[in-house]
């Protein structure tokens, strides 16, 4: 509860009633002259403004007239320790890790540095309208404490975990199988389910863990099946060849994770660009998810993700910024990149599908969809206001919009953090 709770937020609510990959037009719903009633940090009602004002005459009114109101964005794959290496030049995946990532992550041995970067990252995220995320920390347990401490100070529903890496990495960033298990177990006990925190067991990827460490991660997940598991999968051809050489007795890249108990509901694999048919089938059957990170895939030059094909095979998909490999924390910019990547594969991603991936679809992959991701009564009031006239060009374009889908499309192609007019967490304004 905050001083402004209960409150009535006036604007143009947009929500989903169904999966837009089944039918984009019937799944997308709105109330042009509408309002969202927030009570006790939850959405109590969504409907016509006049009706809700009449039935709740004494609540605080927040005026976002002319703004789209929707659930806050969900970033399903991002590295907070890489915030300050965003936009680093000239490397593909394996070089990128050596040249930029590992030196940046070594600095997180200092808890004060970790706290400062976590605070900066979370405030940037909120300014971009992202209210939930699944976040990689570093190998240092203190980087996880720093992140969850700053997230709790902002009352955010986030997932995060200590990165596990004991193979082929610099000495100052190496743990081992036993410490990976013990440190992660202690972090689960300390943070998972505390307030709005979710823990995610986080082996970096197959090349940076020993088989013993992968097995320890699998054993830990078996002991704590309610936590998430996040890692990377099939991002880059050189990486895939190295995995195949190192795990020659296993069928494919996903098979490495599967063999070590790291495939199932609640598993969230970043990228999944160059998958084989067996891997796609196992992802779908197991209920695991892919975090599609299009700005990263373009920026690092990894490849063109087959969103349409994986959806047709029944794979769960969310959208990730993958900063610092990704080039923006904005999920609007991420949606634009997803559209462009799909275009290069001959498919036009519908705006209802893009916004769904960036909200409820992402919440589903993180098993947060009973709490966040849609503007429906009973859900936590994590929501954003988007201004279709935030810039002169947006205003000129959206003035000609002939449908809600057209308006949303213009927002995702032309919008960025300037379009976020307000970010609300459990009904309390925190950014935008
Ligand atoms: Zn990543």
User: Are 48 and 181 part of one and the same domain?
Assistant: no
C-alpha 85 – ligand 1 centre gap (Å):
13
Choose the final residue of a domain: 345, 365, 385: 365
User: Are 134 and 243 part of one and the same domain?
Assistant: yes
C-alpha 270 – ligand 1 centre gap (Å):
6
User: Are 337 and 239 part of one and the same domain?
Assistant: yes
C-alpha 232 – ligand 1 centre gap (Å):
6
Choose the final residue of a domain: 341, 365, 389: 365
User: Are 213 and 109 part of one and the same domain?
Assistant: yes
User: Are 249 and 384 part of one and the same domain?
Assistant: no
CA angle 121, 196, 381 (to 5 degrees): 85
Pairing of strands 130-136, 383-386: unpaired
C-alpha 287 – ligand 1 centre gap (Å):
20
C-alpha 383 – ligand 1 centre gap (Å):
25
Q: Is residue 205 part of a domain?
A: yes
Domain span at residue 314 reads 74-365
CATH code for the domain in which residue 414 is found? 2.30.40.10
User: Are 392 and 359 part of one and the same domain?
Assistant: no
Q: Give per-residue pLDDT as tens, 348-380.
A: 999 999 999 999 999 999 999 999 999 999 999
Measured CA to CA in angstroms, residue 98 lies from 28, 95, 179, 298, 344 at distances of 44, 5, 23, 19, 30
C-alpha 12 – ligand 1 centre gap (Å):
34
C-alpha 219 – ligand 1 centre gap (Å):
23
C-alpha 77 – ligand 1 centre gap (Å):
6
> Which residue from 215, 224, 210 is spatially nearest to 161, judged by alpha carbons?
224
> Which residue from 167, 171, 172 is spatially nearest to 217, judged by alpha carbons?
167
What SS3 class is residue 395?
A: helix
C-alpha 2 – ligand 1 centre gap (Å):
35
Q: What is the pLDDT of residue 388?
A: 98
C-alpha 296 – ligand 1 centre gap (Å):
8
C-alpha 357 – ligand 1 centre gap (Å):
18
C-alpha 60 – ligand 1 centre gap (Å):
41
C-alpha 324 – ligand 1 centre gap (Å):
8
C-alpha 293 – ligand 1 centre gap (Å):
8
Bridge-partner residues for 374, per DSSP? none
C-alpha 79 – ligand 1 centre gap (Å):
6
Q: Is residue 287 part of a domain?
A: yes
Choose the final residue of a domain: 365, 389, 414: 365
C-alpha 381 – ligand 1 centre gap (Å):
28
Q: Is residue 370 part of a domain?
A: no
Q: What is the pLDDT of residue 339?
A: 98
User: Are 45 and 170 part of one and the same domain?
Assistant: no
C-alpha 322 – ligand 1 centre gap (Å):
5
User: Are 350 and 241 part of one and the same domain?
Assistant: yes
> Which residue from 82, 74, 77 is spatially nearest to 130, judged by alpha carbons?
74
Q: What is the pLDDT of residue 223?
A: 98
Q: What is the pLDDT of residue 5?
A: 83
Name residue, tokens 């604007």: 11
CATH code for the domain in which residue 100 is found? 3.20.20.140
Q: What is the pLDDT of residue 2?
A: 58
Residue 139: count of CB within 10 angstroms of its CB? 29
C-alpha 78 – ligand 1 centre gap (Å):
6
Q: Give per-residue pLDDT as tens, 129-158.
A: 999 999 999 999 999 999 999 999 999 999
C-alpha 406 – ligand 1 centre gap (Å):
31
C-alpha 82 – ligand 1 centre gap (Å):
10
Beta strands in 93-157 (DSSP E): 130-136
What residues in the chain have per-residue pLDDT under 70? 1-3
C-alpha 132 – ligand 1 centre gap (Å):
16
Q: How many structural domains are present in the chain? A: 2
User: Are 341 and 396 part of one and the same domain?
Assistant: no
User: Are 39 and 176 part of one and the same domain?
Assistant: no
Query: Which residues neighbour 341 within 8 Å (Cβ) at sequence distance 6 or greater?
Result: 294, 297, 298, 304, 305, 307
Q: Is residue 264 part of a domain?
A: yes
Per the prediction, the chain carries an average pLDDT of: 97
Let me know: does 350 contact 20? Beta carbons within 8 Å.
Answer: yes
C-alpha 326 – ligand 1 centre gap (Å):
8
Name residue, tokens 């990128």: 96
Q: Rounded to an integer, what distance in angstroms lies between the CA atom of residue 62 and that of residue 285?
A: 45
Let me know: does 85 contact 324? Beta carbons within 8 Å.
Answer: yes
Measured CA to CA in angstroms, residue 180 lies from 53, 163, 183, 209, 398 at distances of 54, 8, 5, 10, 51
User: Are 144 and 261 part of one and the same domain?
Assistant: yes
C-alpha 55 – ligand 1 centre gap (Å):
47
Phi, psi (rounded to 5 degrees) for 201: -65, 130
Q: Is residue 2 part of a domain?
A: no
Q: What is the pLDDT of residue 3?
A: 59
């Amino acid at each position: 509860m905050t001083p402004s709770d209960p409150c009535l937020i006036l604007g143009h609510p947009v929500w989903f009633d169904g999966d837009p990959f089944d039918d984009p037009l019937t799944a997308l719903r709105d109330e042009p002259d509408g309002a969202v009633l927030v009570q006790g940090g939850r959405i109590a009602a969504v409907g016509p403004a006049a009706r809700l004002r009449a039935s709740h005459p004494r609540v605080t009114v927040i005026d976002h007239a002319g703004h789209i109101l929707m659930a806050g964005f969900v970033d399903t794959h991002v590295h907070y320790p890489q915030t300050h290496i965003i936009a680093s030049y000239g490397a593909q995946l394996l070089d990128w890790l050596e040249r930029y990532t590992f030196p940046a992550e070594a600095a997180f041995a200092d808890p004060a540095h970790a706290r400062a970067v976590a605070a900066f990252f979370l405030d940037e995220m909120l300014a971009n309208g992202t209210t939930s995320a699944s976040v990689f920390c570093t190998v240092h347990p203190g980087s996880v404490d720093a992140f969850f401490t700053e997230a709790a100070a902002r009352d955010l529903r986030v997932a995060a975990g200590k990165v596990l890496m004991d193979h082929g990495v610099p000495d100052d960033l190496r743990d081992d199988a036993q410490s990976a298990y013990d440190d992660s177990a202690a972090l689960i006990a300390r943070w998972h389910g505390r307030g709005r925190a979710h823990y995610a067991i986080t082996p970096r990827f197959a090349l940076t863990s020993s088989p013993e460490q992968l097995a320890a991660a699998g054993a830990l997940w078996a002991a704590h099946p309610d936590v998430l598991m996040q890692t990377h999968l099939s991002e880059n051809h050189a990486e895939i060849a190295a995995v195949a050489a190192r795990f020659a007795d296993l069928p494919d890249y996903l098979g490495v994770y599967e063999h070590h108990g790291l495939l199932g509901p609640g598993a969230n694999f970043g990228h999944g660009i160059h998958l084989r048919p067996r891997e796609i089938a196992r992802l779908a059957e197991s209920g695991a998810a892919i975090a599609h990170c299009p700005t990263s895939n373009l920026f690092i030059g990894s490849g063109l993700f087959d969103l349409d094909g994986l959806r047709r095979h029944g794979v769960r998909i969310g959208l990730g910024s993958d900063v610092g490999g990704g080039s923006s924390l904005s999920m609007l910019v991420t949606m634009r990149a997803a559209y462009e990547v799909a275009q290069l594969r001959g498919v036009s991603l519908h705006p209802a599908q893009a916004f769904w991936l960036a909200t409820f679809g992402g919440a589903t992959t993180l098993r947060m969809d009973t709490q966040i991701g849609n503007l429906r009564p009973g859900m936590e009031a994590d929501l954003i206001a988007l201004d279709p006239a935030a810039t002169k060009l947006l205003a000129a374009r959206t003035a000609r919009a002939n449908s809600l889908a057209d308006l949303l499309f213009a927002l995702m192609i032309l919008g960025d953090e300037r379009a976020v007019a307000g970010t609300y967490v459990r009904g309390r304004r925190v950014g935008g």
